[in-house]
Amino acid sequence: MAKSETARSPRTPRKTSSASSAPPRPARRPAAKAETPYHHGALREALLQAAEQVLERDGLSGLTLRAVAREAGVSHAAPTHHFGDLTGLLSELAAVGFRQFNAAMASSCDAATTPMERALARPKAYVAYAQAHPGMYGIMFRTERLDYSRSSLHEAAEASFAGLANAIGMMRQEQISGDALTLNQGAAIARAWSMVHGFTMLLLDGRLEDILGRLPEGTTTERLLEAMLTAPITGKLPCP
Amino acid sequence: MAKSETARSPRTPRKTSSASSAPPRPARRPAAKAETPYHHGALREALLQAAEQVLERDGLSGLTLRAVAREAGVSHAAPTHHFGDLTGLLSELAAVGFRQFNAAMASSCDAATTPMERALARPKAYVAYAQAHPGMYGIMFRTERLDYSRSSLHEAAEASFAGLANAIGMMRQEQISGDALTLNQGAAIARAWSMVHGFTMLLLDGRLEDILGRLPEGTTTERLLEAMLTAPITGKLPCP
DNA sequence: TCCCTATCTTTACATCGTAAAGATCAAATA
DNA sequence: TATTTGATCTTTACGATGTAAAGATAGGGA
């Protein structure tokens, strides 16, 4: 009881997680010794997967270095060797998230057929990813503890931005050159990103439920998103 | 050395903070005994002020119960008695932030004269507050550790939302009834809030610097905000 | 064969949130 | 006026966390 730390009995059969997710142990080069060797063989990846599971199960506040180590069945100091830091782990996990995110955005466009569908595919995929992986999205966009000097994170996040800028360029039927932007181009990018990101943050924080609850019966979040993105803008003089 | 906790020597003259901020000690009812009594007299308010100072000085990660207690010159367990919890302290601090925020929004409209100024006064004040108090804004909108069942926080945040909805109603020259919304009304509110909130979050996270750096020389953040809010929307077919 | 190095475990320590019990004082009560 | 009471603040204690440092273990090359 005194040491509740090493609860999973060191060096004993590690739980192969829940059930249907990832091969139990990649077993690096040799024929696979199969019985929990001292050296894990692919701990880094295993820790990242464990971190994702902990994040989805226990939320952001439950995502600690020690919890991840427990989940992976290794000693609590093992993650430090691979990521150096909690910041390191979070950053690498965020990089994983950005790659998932980018993939989801890219594949969403393939399924679109009509012009309207194509126009809404990206923002819908954006919000859908955040709803499906709220913890991951939180890590990616909410945490101040990220180290963007890590190339993996920097590149994955950069790719995300490039995809957005590219989509806006398509929409405006202009070529967006990598180095310079007009004010209108910048404004268009900022508007698209701000609108979708803001919507997502407010949605995840539950701050849109106030609005959703007052809309006509049965109006879905997706419908509100559509309306927000497509409805005409009217009016003036906002100050009371 | 062993107990670095009570560094400020218990019951000795408490540091009256930095210098020019708030009366050193409110001294409740009696003639003011002046010499650090056992009972502080207005610890709750003092702790909130201390929390704000710690937040601005050391950032969100430095804002701990113990740090706040140190800043206020009381024992580390004192805050618990007044706020129950770290969540409690953060929630009350967020409520203070929302009140500051609401006040800033309200007063910003007074200074506006031209129609264009009036139209942009609120969003500009919104972003300006967040830039001036990034830690506070983070507490208010970024933290998952808030307890909205606390009436002070609930009311302050609700007032903020009501102000927004009201402004949108003015803009659309409609009366927004408290209980029901049309889809277009909801979309207008969601768009305004998402756009400004998203812009602010991206700005505070430094994610807009990429864009700002590529805009024409000398384009300010405020100018980008204006352009984002007023520029006409053009184009179609975003998917690559 | 033997050592070297990366990998993982143990041990240790400061800090944090939080609970519980003790000390202090203002004010109500008698 | 003397006493009690309850709120306020301090002490002490405990488990959890991040992180550093030293020890154990093996895989691979000399």
Summarize the confidence of residues B91-113 as an average pLDDT. 93
Q: Which has more confidence, B235 or A21?
A: B235
Separation of A68 CA and D16 C1' (Å): 14
pLDDT tens digits for range B165-175: 888 888 887 76
pLDDT tens digits for range A10-54: 333 333 333 333 333 333 333 333 346 656 778 999 999 999 999
Separation of B84 CA and C18 C1' (Å): 9
Residue A167 and residue B205: Cβ atoms within 8 Å? no
pLDDT of amino acid B37: 66
Summarize the confidence of residues A121-146 as an average pLDDT. 95
CB proximity B210–strand C (7 Å threshold) = no
pLDDT of amino acid B4: 42
Which CATH fold would you assign to the domain B42-84?
Answer: Arc Repressor Mutant, subunit A (1.10.10)
Q: Rounded to whole angstroms, how far apart are CA atoms B205 and A165?
A: 18
Predicted confidence band of residue A6 (pLDDT cuts 50, 70, 90): very low
Separation of B6 CA and C19 C1' (Å): 19
Which CATH fold would you assign to the domain B90-226?
Answer: Tetracycline Repressor; domain 2 (1.10.357)
Q: Which residue is nearest to nucleotide D27 (CA to C1')?
A: A39
Closest Cα in chain B to A194: B198
Domain range annotation of chain A: 42-84, 90-226
pLDDT at B19 over 50: no
Secondary structure of chain B in HEC code, one letter for each residue: CCCCCCCCCCCCCCCCCCCCCCCCCCCCCCCCCCCCCCCCCCHHHHHHHHHHHHHHHHCHHHCCHHHHHHHHCCCCCHHHHHHCCHHHHHHHHHHHHHHHHHHHHHHHHHCCCCHHHHHHHHHHHHHHHHHHCHHHHHHHHHCCCCCCCCHHHHHHHHHHHHHHHHHHHHHCCCCCCCCCCCHHHHHHHHHHHHHHHHHHHHHHCCCCHHHHHHCCCCCCHHHHHHHHHHCCCCCCCCCC
Chain C nucleotides near the protein (CB, 7 A): 7-12, 14-21, 24-27
How many CA atoms, within 13 angstroms, populate the side-chain half-sphere of residue A79? 26
pLDDT at B97 over 70: yes
CB proximity A8–strand C (7 Å threshold) = no
Predicted confidence band of residue B42 (pLDDT cuts 50, 70, 90): confident
Which residue in A141, A199, A210 is closest to B194 by CB distance? A199
